[in-house]
A and B are shown apart, each in its own frame.
Chain A
Amino acid sequence: MDLSFSNEQENFRKDVRNFLRDTLKPNISSKMKLGILLSKDEIESWHNTLNEKGWLAGSWPKKYGGQGWGVIESFIFEEECSAVGAPRILPFAFNMLAPVLMAFGSDKQRGYWLPRMLNGDDWWCQGYSEPGSGSDLASLKTSASREGNHYIVNGQKTWTTLGQHANMIFCLVKTSTKGKPQEGISFLLIDMNSDGIEVRPLRTIDGEHEINEVFFTNVKVPIENLVGEENKGWTYAKYLLAHERTGIANVGLSKRRIGELKQLASETKKDGKPLIQDPIFAARVAKTEIDLANLEITNLRILSRAQAGGSPGPESSILKILGSEIGQEIDSLTRRALGRRATIHVPNILDYGYNGPNISPINAATAAGVYFNNRKTSIYGGSNEIQKNIISKAVLEL
């Protein structure tokens, strides 16, 4: 057993660090550190910066324009990006759709869509959940019926993250009502500019516009936009969910945020002393830090095993559960550390042209909003309850 990184890996870490130092704009990292939602331009601009370096899809095989990174390289990249507050690469195209296209798409689809992802030609969003189909995803009702060279799509998707910016959506649709619900689902790529599509914003409890509802009324989709075989979409979706897991432990992000929390708690006071010296608060922070140190190794163990065996197995649900819970605990501690000032809610504090008062400590501007917004992390991508079902069935065989 050796838990250290190799010299090669450490050199890669230095490369990433140097690259980030040279390219990451301070106002972007400040926004990320305060948990502020980036604009479309800001996200696209960062994607372009990474693409110029060849790191936008580092874990993709070289033949598709990636670097062929293994899980350790991907982990190091993610950790270094998180450490300095670099934006997250949006997962929809790179971590979710692309692996499905590589595994199940046609040569034509791969040749067309993958380069467009790297070039930023398309903004992809995910069309899975429906109002009546959340945890019970297989009960979805959005239908696609074949008419000549098209599918005609009718239905509604919901919780569509950043769908307001998207020009493409990958959807699970119902193409057959025969057999088990899972057997009649297909995986379809749909142009958001098609006639019959309407996107409506859904405001979250912190007042942000991040998620949407997408309505489909007689939307014509060319049959070449079917991925793989008709009625096999459920298999592809499960494959996709396994791939989505790889960055989901958020170890790098949580590490940085615990550091920031300790800094914050050394500036706020309790009983005349820094809050971080309060035994109760210090114990809360220490517990979280221990959980995170454990998760870092659990994460690498699961990912390494996955690397050897292809894709991460059901054990990766552990990462989703722990990653979200630890992140949420840091959110909670950050708001606690701010005491009475946590109530302040000024999410536009870093906007160009903001002319309101300064806020000190600046974390107060967004901490409570971030705490509430991040309740989503134990809900989306298969709620933590669903993750536990997966573990109990597929791992423990209960």
Chain B
Amino acid sequence: MDFSLSSERQILFDTLTKYFRNEYSLERRNEAASSDLGFSRDSWKSIASLGVFDALLKPELGGFGGDPIDIITVFEAIGSGLVIEPVLNSALMSSMVLSHGSEQQKAVSQAVLAGEARPIFAHFEDLEQYEIHSVETQSTESGNAFIVNGTKSAVRHLVGACHLIFSARTSKTSNEKDGISLFMIPLETSGLTFETFESIDGGIVSDVTFSNVRINKDSLIGKKDQAISIISEAIETGTLALCAEALGIMERIKDITLNYLKTRKQFGVPIGKFQTLQHRMTQLFIEIEQTRSAIMNASFWFNDSVETRKKYLSAAKYTVGRVGALVAEESIQMHGGMGMTWEYDLGHFAKRLIMINHEFGDEDHHLNYYAKFSA
């Protein structure tokens, strides 16, 4: 057994964390987060130039990595920097989906690697909380076109994207696994309307509504009605990445809080001298170690059978959800008033950590899933 990273991956992790620490200040991040775009184009290009995308993508997608360990290595670094750029969706998940597409569609994915294109994959709707097969958006064949109606909900990073990759139902009813297809269209396609909202953890989310949107047949990605496995694979990979992002955030919160406990004085001593806080901080430390183990486990089993992958992935996302809330809430509490202020780093990490629980299934969702797989 070997729990250490290979030297190449260690170098990648160190390079990224150093870059984020030195070049990606929280102040700049928050400035970008509150801009009209919701992130920084410059930072996006810089991240691309660091070789992040190559590390995330398998050779058949044009990268030289794509192993689950590559993904958790990159995303732990992304979490530690509280990076708000759309690496997860535009670089990783979109490319995975497009790899099943036509040569023309694959070309968009190639352009992402070169930093020249930025598609966004929108799947979830309001219908259900987190079930992957809950798709109601309809795409009906009409001659040599499809007519699309429906709404994709709370899509991060949609503003400023070049293409919209989306799922829609081409047959069956809204809660069945078959009958879902994937499409890619330019974002400026007529008939699309957008409503944008500020996101609590920074940046912008959009609802995109299709009203009788007529799209060409060649917008279809892969086989009609058969997209569920492509979608699942992208979301499962995204879930692993999010778990690692959460871990990177937890480690940062641990550092911030430890530093505070050692330096903030009340009653004449650093507050870390009080046993009640020592025990609570110790509990966070233990839980974060358990989270790291859960993510290692999930990455190890990721390329096993679908059932095994899903089981350990749910175990990891459940752990991230439960521990994430604990870490966010306890770290704020141990800081007292300081933890409540915008000017202090902690709150921004805590907000993102909590909101990760609202992507790709929360603690309860994955506990339920795990129970099904282990029964």
Question: A and B: partners?
Answer: yes
Chain A residues with a Cβ under 8 A of chain B: 129, 132-136, 139, 158-159, 202-207, 211, 268-272, 275, 278, 280-281, 284, 328, 332, 335-336, 338-346, 356-357, 359-360, 368-369, 371-372, 375-376, 378-380, 383-385, 388
B19 touches A (CB below 8 Å): no
Chain B residues with a Cβ under 8 A of chain A: 124, 126-131, 153-154, 175, 195, 197-201, 205, 207, 265-267, 271, 276-277, 325, 329, 332-333, 336-337, 339-343, 347-348, 350-351, 354-355, 357-359, 362, 364-365, 367-368
* Contact call A271/B200, Cβ cutoff below 8 A: no
Given A136-B266, A343-B199, A357-B197: A380 and B337 interface contact (C-beta under 8 Å): yes
A-B contact pairs, 24 of them (CB 8 A): A134-B266, A134-B336, A134-B337, A135-B336, A136-B266, A139-B267, A202-B342, A202-B343, A203-B341, A205-B341, A205-B342, A205-B347, A270-B129, A335-B354, A343-B199, A343-B201, A343-B205, A343-B355, A368-B355, A371-B354, A375-B329, A375-B339, A376-B340, A380-B337
* Contact call B348/A205, Cβ cutoff below 8 A: yes
* Contact call A359/B197, Cβ cutoff below 8 A: yes
Known A-B contacts: A211-B337, A271-B128, A345-B200. Give 20 more (CB < 8 A): A134-B266, A134-B337, A158-B337, A159-B337, A202-B341, A202-B342, A204-B341, A205-B341, A205-B348, A207-B342, A270-B128, A284-B364, A335-B358, A336-B362, A336-B364, A340-B124, A342-B355, A345-B199, A357-B195, A384-B333
Instruction: Using CB atoms, name the residue of chain A closest to B332.
Output: A375
A340–B130 alpha-carbon span in the complex (Å): 8
Q: Top 6 A-B pairs ranked by shortest CB distance?
A: A205-B347, A339-B129, A203-B342, A357-B195, A136-B266, A368-B200
A357: chain B residues within 8 A (beta carbon): 195, 197, 207
* Contact call A129/B337, Cβ cutoff below 8 A: yes
A158: chain B residues within 8 A (beta carbon): 337
A129: chain B residues within 8 A (beta carbon): 337
Given A134-B266, A159-B337: A203 and B129 interface contact (C-beta under 8 Å): no
Given A278-B364, A340-B130: A378 and B333 interface contact (C-beta under 8 Å): yes
A320–B355 alpha-carbon span in the complex (Å): 28
A369: chain B residues within 8 A (beta carbon): 200
- Give the shortest distance, in Å, between B85 (CB) and chain A (any CB): 17
Most B C-beta atoms less than 10 A away, residue of A136, A371, A375? A375
A158–B336 alpha-carbon span in the complex (Å): 12
Q: Which of A139, A272, A341, A385 contacts B126 (CB 8 A)?
A: A341
* Contact call B276/A385, Cβ cutoff below 8 A: yes
A336: chain B residues within 8 A (beta carbon): 357, 362, 364
* Contact call B333/A343, Cβ cutoff below 8 A: no
B199: chain A residues within 8 A (beta carbon): 343-345
* Contact call B364/A280, Cβ cutoff below 8 A: yes
Instruction: Using CB atoms, name the residue of chain A closest to B124.
Output: A340
B348: chain A residues within 8 A (beta carbon): 205
A269–B365 alpha-carbon span in the complex (Å): 12
Given A135-B336, A345-B198: A205 and B350 interface contact (C-beta under 8 Å): yes
A348–B198 alpha-carbon span in the complex (Å): 11
A345–B355 alpha-carbon span in the complex (Å): 12
A303–B201 alpha-carbon span in the complex (Å): 40
Instruction: Using CB atoms, name the residue of chain A closest to B267.
Output: A136
A362–B78 alpha-carbon span in the complex (Å): 32
Q: Which of B130, B195, B325 contacts A339 (CB 8 A)?
A: B130
A335: chain B residues within 8 A (beta carbon): 354, 358
* Contact call A272/B175, Cβ cutoff below 8 A: yes
* Contact call B337/A344, Cβ cutoff below 8 A: no
A132–B347 alpha-carbon span in the complex (Å): 20
A270: chain B residues within 8 A (beta carbon): 128-129, 365
Instruction: Using CB atoms, name the residue of chain B closest to A268.
Output: B129
A278–B128 alpha-carbon span in the complex (Å): 13
Instruction: Using CB atoms, name the residue of chain B closest to A280.
Output: B364
- Give the shortest distance, in Å, between B274 (CB) and chain A (any CB): 8
A338: chain B residues within 8 A (beta carbon): 358
* Contact call B200/A343, Cβ cutoff below 8 A: yes
Instruction: Using CB atoms, name the residue of chain B closest to A134.
Output: B336
* Contact call A135/B195, Cβ cutoff below 8 A: no
A270–B134 alpha-carbon span in the complex (Å): 10
A139–B355 alpha-carbon span in the complex (Å): 38
- Give the shortest distance, in Å, between A110 (CB) and chain B (any CB): 32
A275: chain B residues within 8 A (beta carbon): 129
Instruction: Using CB atoms, name the residue of chain A closest to B363.
Output: A336
A204: chain B residues within 8 A (beta carbon): 340-342
A338–B336 alpha-carbon span in the complex (Å): 28
Given A134-B337, A159-B337: A346 and B129 interface contact (C-beta under 8 Å): no
A375–B329 alpha-carbon span in the complex (Å): 7
- Give the shortest distance, in Å, between B29 (CB) and chain A (any CB): 15
- Give the shortest distance, in Å, between A365 (CB) and chain B (any CB): 8
Instruction: Using CB atoms, name the residue of chain B closest to A360.
Output: B126
A271–B126 alpha-carbon span in the complex (Å): 13
* Contact call B358/A343, Cβ cutoff below 8 A: yes
* Contact call A344/B205, Cβ cutoff below 8 A: yes
A356–B130 alpha-carbon span in the complex (Å): 26
B267: chain A residues within 8 A (beta carbon): 135-136, 139
A344–B197 alpha-carbon span in the complex (Å): 6
* Contact call B333/A375, Cβ cutoff below 8 A: yes
Instruction: Using CB atoms, name the residue of chain A closest to B371.
Output: A280
A371: chain B residues within 8 A (beta carbon): 354
B347: chain A residues within 8 A (beta carbon): 205, 372
Most A C-beta atoms less than 10 A away, residue of B207, B267, B342, B350? B342
- Give the shortest distance, in Å, between B284 (CB) and chain A (any CB): 15
A328: chain B residues within 8 A (beta carbon): 329
Most A C-beta atoms less than 10 A away, residue of B129, B357, B367? B129
* Contact call A345/B197, Cβ cutoff below 8 A: yes
A268–B195 alpha-carbon span in the complex (Å): 21
Instruction: Using CB atoms, name the residue of chain A closest to B174.
Output: A272
Q: Which of B129, B198, B340, B358 contacts A379 (CB 8 A)?
A: B340
- Give the shortest distance, in Å, between B193 (CB) and chain A (any CB): 10
- Give the shortest distance, in Å, between A343 (CB) and chain B (any CB): 5
A135–B336 alpha-carbon span in the complex (Å): 9
Given A205-B341, A346-B197: A372 and B351 interface contact (C-beta under 8 Å): yes
A339–B348 alpha-carbon span in the complex (Å): 20
Instruction: Using CB atoms, name the residue of chain A closest to B128.
Output: A269
A268: chain B residues within 8 A (beta carbon): 129
B205: chain A residues within 8 A (beta carbon): 343-344
- Give the shortest distance, in Å, between B374 (CB) and chain A (any CB): 15
A328–B332 alpha-carbon span in the complex (Å): 13
A135–B276 alpha-carbon span in the complex (Å): 14
A271: chain B residues within 8 A (beta carbon): 128, 131
- Give the shortest distance, in Å, between B320 (CB) and chain A (any CB): 15
A134–B153 alpha-carbon span in the complex (Å): 43
Instruction: Using CB atoms, name the residue of chain B closest to A343.
Output: B199
- Give the shortest distance, in Å, between B245 (CB) and chain A (any CB): 15
Instruction: Using CB atoms, name the residue of chain B closest to A385.
Output: B276
A378: chain B residues within 8 A (beta carbon): 333
A332: chain B residues within 8 A (beta carbon): 325
A336–B354 alpha-carbon span in the complex (Å): 10
